[in-house]
Amino acid sequence: MKNLKHVLDKKIADVLRNLPLNGQTEFDTHDFINVFLKLDENNYTDLLIRHKDAKGPFKAFHGCIARYLNSLERRGIIEKVRDKTGKKIRRVSRNIKGNMTSNQVWTKH
């Protein structure tokens, strides 16, 4: 079975090519997840099912994706958007289940 890093490393160029959405200059973690799901539904579901026994499978899986995004920042591919004081900017957007939740805002390098 493929792991998340392996799958996303193969898809990252395609996912980032489709971000940001709707003429925006930035994207958030939900945007990234939605584009990944749209571009590669089979791998998304294969990876999600590994979290089926977690108390919150989507939350657990999407947390792994968020950690992957942090690794992309360390690799210089994307970066967290920060305000003038250096504080990380988060925004509220609709998650995969339709709930409004706060998550990190990113920009491509």
Per-residue pLDDT tens digits for 43-69: 999 999 999 999 999 999 999 999 999
Query: Where are the domains positioned within the chain?
Result: 4-108
- In three state form, how does the secondary structure of the chain look? CCCHHHHHHHHHHHHHHCCCCCCCCCEEHHHHHHHHHHHCHHHHHHHHHCCCCCCCHHHHHHHHHHHHHHHHHHCCCEEECECCCCCECEEEEECCCCCEEEEEEEEEC
Tell me what the mean pLDDT of segment 73-90 comes to: 96
Question: Can you tell me the distance from the alpha carbon of 73 to that of 30, in angstroms, rounded to the nearest whole number?
Answer: 16
What integer pLDDT is reported at residue 36 of this predicted model? 97
What integer pLDDT is reported at residue 101 of this predicted model? 96
pLDDT more than 70, % of the chain: 98
| pLDDT value at 88 more than 70 | yes
